[in-house]
Structure 1
Amino acid sequence: MSTWPDTRILDLLGIDVPIIQAPMAGATTAQMVIAANEAGALGSMPAAALSIEQLRDALSTIRQASTRPINVNFFCHQPPEADDARDRRWKDLLQPYYRELGADFDAPTPVTNRAPFNEAACEVVEAFRPEVVSFHFGLPEKSLLDRVKATGAKVLSSATTVEEAIWLEQHGCDAIIAMGLEAGGHRGMFLSDDLNSQIGLMALVPQIVDAVSVPVIAAGGIADARGIAAAFALGASAVQIGTAYLLTPEATVSPSHHHALRHAQASETALTNLFTGRPARGIVNRVMRELGAINPLAPAFPRAGGALLPLKAKDEAGFSNLWAGQAVGLRHPFATRELTTWLAEQALSRLSR
């Protein structure tokens, strides 16, 4: 499709439609990436919740099925130092739920992990040479980033403020993902932990477009052709879409998550730090309502989730993260390839009027 009003992302990434299927840890599968690729979009494989062996297997599957460009996404946070006292206070807060649900409070607390980009992950990039590598929570240290760029990969990262966008461009990003407050999953914020700094996509995109010289990708609250057309009107060169793909058959979501996605409205999502320790948008459930979506006792990312795992095993709907963005009410009955094609065709039709 050559009639898009801005083709900078198409040219930069070697794709046919300016849609990036968002990398959603735990929900995105190799089959989703392949299907998005087949529709001409950029399929994105999230690495944060995978072991190195699992990541290698997923990329092998994708490479065997498709020769089109792919994106591999990594978190690049700094793992926190152990804080046993904070962990204990957090688990003590949850003790009434353990008693109610019959979970063993005295058993060792499970460990949750989100692996940051490191030497081993960089070696995977060097072996598979994905055309695009994207990061969340800033960028990795310069020596690792230089190795990524040496493979020829284009580098993307998420900015939740204008200041973050400027920083990312100055530190080598080829394009910026402008992540509006509407977006589901973890906020990409990294220069500040102040939630008051977070703004909606309509205000964020044009300000980032004006502040940087690289192309901007709009993310957050986009799930149909109207959102795509609006993003281009604001100056974006592409969109990144996540929540709309969660109901495709290629997604792996739990039955409780799937039910919530099918019934929730936009007003039923909120930012919460309960499940990992970092703010992330999900559908409001019991533990968010009763403890407060943002609770200062939650341990630092990613340690908060461990104490919730025994409760999740007893009551998944009430104690698991149900990630979703504010466009959760815009539901489409398509598989990944069909959804991507439909989104692109409908958006082009609107933009051509």
Structure 2
Amino acid sequence: MIKLLGTAHPIIQAPMAGISTPALAAAVSNAGALGSLGVGASSVDQARSAIIQTQSLTHKPINVNVSCNAPPRRNRTIEAAWISHFSPFFDKFGAEPPESLNEIYQTFVVNENAFRMLLEVRPGFVSFHFGIPSVEKIAAFREAGIKTLATATNLQEARAIEAAGVDGIIAQGIEAGGHRGMFDPHAKDDQLGTIPLVRLLVRKSRLPVVAAGGIMDGLGIKSALEQGAVAAQLGTAFILCPESAADEGYRAILKSGRSGLTKLTSVVSGRPARGIVNRLIEHGEAGAGLPPADYPIAYDLAKQLHAAATREGTNEFAAHWVGQGALLAREFPAAQLVRTLLEEVAGTNAHV
């Protein structure tokens, strides 16, 4: 049994808000790994419902991930310019551009209702992205028997995680898909790859380290374990599972050659995130010198534009978050994927 995780196998299915589901998380946990739910984009009631549903499908530990970003800094001038930059596409799709943008998600650091809900439903793990909550909240989770994990992209963040009393570090390399977990999106990014970051944190931290970023198969997991990680977290590898919430457009582009071209960009949500390059990213990046609205304000516009584009039959304005190993994605049921990964770690199924 993996000491930190309390699971039979050293695999975590990444939370992936909007993609992870109770069925996916439960299937992974039932297979002996750690299934996860990403609830940073959910209301408290939605999160509670998803957690309780997952707990009804498995008696094994699950991980619930929350977003600990700083509250957004509103700048009406920047937000208006950002709306204006994308207005031609709203016009093209026969939709009115929004007059203003909203903070569509509330950060966990100020959401007391979400905190109390987690203490009530008691998942096995709570993990933090974009930062960490107060030491008092972390201590409360510990007292409730809930283990905690937090994402670090550099040594400084790892040291803050350790000092706050978190149980383990998720070392997120630059290869990772989705949102980069850096505490301050405006700070200089060391852009460390997964293996160098894992080695650094294993040597410089007393906490157990989980490797995350670009890991798609058992050989990648084995490599991370050989570098001192106690487990590997995989996200993109689970998107094609039938239990995930990925829609047909997402699945089609992930299975195409286009998934090999990804970009780390802030233009979709206002925070650095890696996804498949499409018209949304290309147009956002083309606004030379034009900063995006802060997170999650910019995401409000992206989601509204995606909805308008979808009504007109195009999927080119969606956030298709994937890591750099996306071309290696396989379409297996979650339990079968876990078994396959374990066979590959053991060297018995290396060519699947």
> What TM-score do you get using the length of structure 1 for normalisation?
0.91
Structure 2 counterpart of 1:3: none
Measured in 1, the distance between the counterparts of 2:297 and 2:195 equals 33
**SS class of match (2:8):** coil
Structure 1 counterpart of 2:291: 297
Alpha carbons 1:274, 1:288 under 8 Å: kept:
yes
**SS class of match (1:35):** helix
Give the length in aligned residue pairs.
343
Structure 1 counterpart of 2:337: 339
Measured in 2, the distance between the counterparts of 1:290 and 1:23 equals 28
Structure 2 counterpart of 1:315: 309
Measured in 2, the distance between the counterparts of 1:204 and 1:89 equals 37
Measured in 2, the distance between the counterparts of 1:70 and 1:32 equals 11
Structure 1 counterpart of 2:217: 224
Structure 1 counterpart of 2:4: 12
The superposition leaves residues 160-204 of structure 1 with CA deviations (integer Å, 9 ceiling, x where unpaired) of 012211221111121110000000010000156345422111211
Alpha carbons 1:122, 1:147 under 8 Å: kept:
no
Structure 2 counterpart of 1:202: 195
Matched, 1:249 2:242: yes
**SS class of match (2:316):** helix
Structure 2 counterpart of 1:55: 47
**SS class of match (1:197):** coil
Deviation at 1:333, TM superposition (A): 2.5
Alpha carbons 2:179, 2:274 under 8 Å: kept:
yes
The superposition leaves residues 261-280 of structure 1 with CA deviations (integer Å, 9 ceiling, x where unpaired) of 11145640111112210000
**SS class of match (2:149):** strand
Structure 1 counterpart of 2:300: 306
Alpha carbons 1:271, 1:293 under 8 Å: kept:
no
The superposition leaves residues 197-251 of structure 1 with CA deviations (integer Å, 9 ceiling, x where unpaired) of 2211121110111110111100000010110111012111100000010001011
Measured in 1, the distance between the counterparts of 2:241 and 2:93 equals 32
For 2:68, the aligned partner's letter is C
For 1:161, the aligned partner's letter is N
Structure 2 counterpart of 1:4: none
Measured in 1, the distance between the counterparts of 2:15 and 2:146 equals 17
For 1:313, the aligned partner's letter is A
Structure 2 counterpart of 1:43: 35
For 1:39, the aligned partner's letter is A
User: 1:261 pairs with 254, 260, 267, which one?
Assistant: 254
Structure 2 counterpart of 1:163: 156
Alpha carbons 1:103, 1:310 under 8 Å: kept:
no
Matched, 1:28 2:20: yes
For 1:16, the aligned partner's letter is A
Structure 1 counterpart of 2:102: 111
Q: 1:49 to 1:236 in 2, by over 3 A?
A: same
For 2:346, the aligned partner's letter is L
Measured in 1, the distance between the counterparts of 2:170 and 2:286 equals 25
> What TM-score do you get using the length of structure 2 for normalisation?
0.92
Deviation at 1:158, TM superposition (A): 0.5
Matched, 1:124 2:117: yes
For 1:152, the aligned partner's letter is G
Matched, 1:65 2:57: yes
Alpha carbons 2:309, 2:317 under 8 Å: kept:
yes
Q: 1:197 to 1:293 in 2, by over 3 A?
A: farther
Deviation at 1:293, TM superposition (A): 7.6
Structure 1 counterpart of 2:93: 101
Structure 1 counterpart of 2:323: 325
For 2:323, the aligned partner's letter is G
Measured in 1, the distance between the counterparts of 2:80 and 2:28 equals 43
For 1:75, the aligned partner's letter is S
Measured in 2, the distance between the counterparts of 1:152 and 1:189 equals 27
Structure 1 counterpart of 2:279: 286
Matched, 1:150 2:143: yes
The superposition leaves residues 39-82 of structure 1 with CA deviations (integer Å, 9 ceiling, x where unpaired) of 00011111111111111111111222211111111101122143
Gaps of 5+ in 1: 1-6
Q: 1:294 to 1:91 in 2, by over 3 A?
A: closer
User: 2:74 pairs with 60, 65, 82, which one?
Assistant: 82
Measured in 2, the distance between the counterparts of 1:179 and 1:202 equals 9
For 1:301, the aligned partner's letter is Y
Runs of 4+ in 1 over 6 A off after TM superposition: none
Deviation at 1:13, TM superposition (A): 2.1
Measured in 1, the distance between the counterparts of 2:301 and 2:184 equals 28
Q: 1:294 to 1:230 in 2, by over 3 A?
A: farther
